[in-house]
Every structure is written in C-alpha cells, then in structure tokens.
C-alpha cells in the first residue's frame, strides 16, 4: 500500500486496492495505525504529480468520505493536502482539491468557529481566513474554469463563515487589485458580499466606504472600467429590488462605455445618492464627480447632471 509497491499494477487493480483500503478505513470499528493514513496521503500526492488523474480523483473522493464519516486523525492532514493541491495549475487537480477543502471547512471549522452563543473563535477565524485567501488567490491565478467554480462558491462560503464587516475590505481589495485579471466573475462575489452587508445593517458603513473611495475609481481606472465598476458597486449597495435585478446585465457590460452604460451609471449613482442620509457624504459625493467631470465627454458629467 505505497506508491512504490503499486506502481507495477494496472490502473484498474490499483483502483480496487485503494477502494478496499478506503472502505476499511471508513467502516473499521478500530482506529487504524497512523502509517495507513501516511501512505494514503503519499499516494494522493504521487498520483497527482504523475498525472494519474483517475486514481487521484478516486483517492480524493475517498478522503472526502472519510471526513464526512467522521474518521478520526484524517481531517487535519486532509485539509493541508487540499490546500497544497489547490495551488496546482492543472484544473483536474485543483478543482478536486477545492471540493475536499470545502468539505473539510464545513465539516470541521464551521462548527468550531461558533459556539452555542454564536461567539467566534479567533484561532479558527485566522485559519479560515488563510483558506479563504487561498481561494481568492485561485481567482487571481487560475484558469477560467477554476475562476468560475471558485466564484460560484465564494459568496456562500463568505456569508457562512464571516460577518460582512470582516470580508468587505478583503473582497473589495481583491476586486480593485491591479493584478486582478478576472473582474467580471469576481463582481458577482462583490454583489453577494455587499448584499450581505445590507442585510446585516452594515449599509451606513458601506456607504461611507464607497463615498470615501470614489476617487479611486474616477482617478485611477480607465473611464470605461470606472463606469462599469461604479455601476456594479452602486447597484450592489442598493436596497431597490428593481435596480438590483439589473445587475446580471450590468455585469455583462464590462469594458463598454456606450450611451446605455452611461445611462445605467446615472441611474445607479442617483439611487445611491438618494439613499445617503449624511449631508457631508452627499457633498463629498457630488464634489468627487464634479472634479472627475472635467474631462471632455466624461460619463461623470452625466452623473452630476442627473443628481
């Protein structure tokens, strides 16, 4: 039961052997020796490195079953393994690791992070933030398929493990990073995170951040990108269900700055402006757009005219 002893066997024979070992580990009434677990993890690493994808996927599926069955002595090592394989460039390796990592997080950390009184364990919070950072890193470096899969689960994971105030800075920072090549799929994560902030009565905090950060969009981004980003953020922070329903269409308009996009920005900006209750924030909002409207045919001039 080692990579060396099984290397001469056919793939089918190895699958039968590994399935038998995993079945014994899952159903044995007694705890198996630590060497069995060690050999199993070595096999997973070996099969992924040697491009034995079928064997690798079968072993990772077996590890997932062990975690869900509550087999002792597997969770910590499986979590480390999932984190390591998640960083691999091959989607056939990393996406299977993503599944295992999510299983480890929801079967272990989710129950540990919150006690009976919903008190967050700081140590578990740090460990979970590390794993979340690894997922954001895959969004930045992964293939389109990986990015699509990670962005599909990220909003729900963030909502389950963190209050919105804890992830706002991280999610927005990743979105605005100059090294971020996947803004469009990540905008869906931003939409969900900002929506969660609104549900958790964090709207005043969100409004304050957006008003203070307007210059980042208007001064540091190309006009078309700034128009799209601001529309996404304003709609995500809106409590108007009709405007929020337009978000998927706005998401598809990335990189465009036609009359339609300028009009959408004006509608979203006007809605956000009307929601502001702080007079100073309203003044800062108008001032920032007026300063940015000095450029010829700027969409920001349309915003100031629509307020």
Q: What is the per-residue DSSP string for 36-55? A: HHHHHHHHHHHHHHTT-HHH
Specify burial of residue 24 (Cβ count, 10 A radius: 0-12, 13-18, 19+): exposed
Which letter does DSSP use for residue 114 in this model?
Answer: B
Domain contains 173: no
- Give the pLDDT of residue 125: 78
- Give the pLDDT of residue 258: 94
What count of other Cβ atoms lies within 10 Å of the Cβ of residue 112? 12
Residue 159 has pLDDT above 90, yes or no: no
Sequence-distant contacts of 113-118: CB under 8 A, at least 24 apart: 113/161
Task: Tell me the average pLDDT across 283-291.
Answer: 94
Least confident of 27-36, 53-62, 93-102, 276-285: 27-36
Look at the pTM and tell me if it is higher than 0.85: no
Residue 8 has pLDDT above 70, yes or no: no
- Give the pLDDT of residue 279: 94
Least confident of 119-133, 194-208, 272-286, 291-305: 119-133
Task: Tell me the average pLDDT across 187-201.
Answer: 89
Residue 123 has pLDDT above 90, yes or no: no
Domain contains 209: no
Least confident of 76-85, 106-115, 177-186, 234-243: 106-115
Confidence of residue 3 (pLDDT cuts 50, 70, 90): low
Residue among 89, 86, 91, 82 nearest 109 (CA): 82
Q: What angle do CA 33, 35, 39 make, to 5 degrees?
A: 135
Confidence of residue 14 (pLDDT cuts 50, 70, 90): confident
Confidence of residue 48 (pLDDT cuts 50, 70, 90): low
Helix axes 183-199, 203-220, angle to 10 degrees: 150
Domain contains 54: yes
> Which has more pLDDT, 193 or 111?
193
Nearest-angstrom CA–CA distance, 183 and 286? 26
In three-state secondary structure terms, 73 is: coil
- Give the pLDDT of residue 295: 73
Residue 183 has pLDDT above 70, yes or no: yes
Domain contains 90: yes
- Give the pLDDT of residue 274: 94
pLDDT digits (tens, 9 = 90+) for 79-118: 988 999 999 989 999 999 999 999 999 987 665 555 545 5
- Give the pLDDT of residue 114: 54
Q: Nearest 10 degrees: CA dihedral of 24, 27, 29, 32?
A: 40
Give the total number of structural domains in the chain. 1
Domain contains 284: no
Task: Tell me the average pLDDT across 35-52.
Answer: 73
* Distance from the Cα of residue 242 to its chain's centroid: 26
CA distances in angstroms from 251 to 110, 129, 162, 216, 256, listed in the order given: 31, 27, 25, 20, 11
Give the percent of the chain with pLDDT over 90.
Answer: 46
Host domain of residue 75? 9-115
Domain contains 259: no
- Give the pLDDT of residue 290: 92
Task: Tell me the average pLDDT across 146-165.
Answer: 89
> Which has more pLDDT, 40 or 169?
169
Domain contains 263: no
Domain contains 292: no
């Amino acid at each position: 039961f080692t990579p060396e002893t099984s290397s001469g066997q056919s793939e089918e024979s190895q699958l039968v052997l590994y399935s038998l070992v995993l079945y014994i580990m899952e159903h044995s009434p007694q705890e198996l020796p630590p060497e069995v677990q060690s050999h199993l993890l070595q096999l997973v690493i070996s099969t992924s490195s040697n491009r034995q994808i079928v064997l690798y996927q079968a072993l990772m599926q077996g590890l997932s079953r062990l975690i869900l069955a509550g087999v002792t002595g597997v969770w910590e090592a499986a979590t480390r393994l999932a984190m390591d394989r998640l960083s691999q460039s091959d989607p056939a390796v990393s996406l299977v690791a993503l599944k295992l990592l999510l299983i480890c997080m929801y079967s272990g950390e989710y129950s540990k992070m919150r006690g009976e009184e919903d008190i967050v364990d700081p140590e578990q919070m740090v460990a979970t933030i590390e794993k979340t950072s690894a997922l954001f890193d895959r969004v930045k470096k992964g293939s389109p398929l990986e990015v699509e899969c990670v962005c599909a689960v990220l909003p729900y994971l963030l909502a389950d493990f963190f209050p919105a105030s804890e992830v706002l800075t991280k999610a927005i920072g990743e979105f605005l990073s100059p090294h971020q090549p996947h803004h469009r799929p990540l905008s869906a994560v931003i939409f969900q995170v900002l929506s969660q902030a609104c549900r958790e009565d964090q709207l005043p905090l969100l409004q304050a951040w957006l008003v203070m950060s307007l210059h980042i969009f208007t001064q540091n981004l190309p006009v078309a990108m700034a128009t799209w980003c601001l529309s996404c953020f304003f709609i995500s922070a809106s409590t108007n269900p009709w405007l929020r329903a337009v978000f998927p269409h706005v998401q598809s308009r990335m990189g465009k700055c036609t009359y339609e996009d300028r009009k959408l920005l004006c509608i979203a900006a006007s809605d956000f402006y009307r929601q502001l209750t702080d007079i100073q924030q309203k003044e800062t909002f108008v001032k920032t757009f007026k300063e940015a409207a000095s450029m010829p045919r700027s969409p920001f001039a349309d915003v100031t005219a629509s307020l």
